[in-house]
Amino acid sequence: MSETRVDGRVDKEKWDELQDYIDENKNSRKHSKQFYLEKITEMALSLKRKREKEERETHQSYKDLRKQIKEDMNV
């Protein structure tokens, strides 16, 4: 597995909110910055994949609707 090192700054309030959320929903006793970064990355990728899936479904729904309209109009 290849890794990328990430150094940066995050607003303390946002970081604390994310830490609290992760702590409330985790199944581990880990408390390292690396652990939180891994969890935040997993959450971001999960949200990205969910949005991409919704986009595909919306696009397909639009295509189906256009097809149905053409069929209804005998075009």
What would the DSSP string read from start to end of the chain? -----------HHHHHHHHHHHHHH-SS----HHHHHHHHHHHHHHHHHHHHHHHHHHHHHHHHHHHHHHHHTT-
DSSP 3-state helix, strand, coil percentages of the chain (rounded to 5)?
70, 0, 30
Percent of the chain whose predicted confidence (pLDDT) is above 90? 60
Predicted confidence at residue 29, as pLDDT, reads: 81
Mean predicted confidence (pLDDT) in 17-34: 87
In a domain, 30, yes or no: yes
Token pair of 15 as six digits: 């970081």
In a domain, 47, yes or no: yes
Mean predicted confidence (pLDDT) in 60-74: 94
Q: What's the domain count of the chain?
A: 1
| pTM over cut 0.85 | no
In a domain, 50, yes or no: yes
- Tell me: pLDDT of 68 over 90: yes
Containing structural domain, residue 32: 12-72
In a domain, 52, yes or no: yes
Predicted confidence at residue 64, as pLDDT, reads: 96
Token pair of 6 as six digits: 């990430």
Average of per-residue pLDDT values in the chain: 91
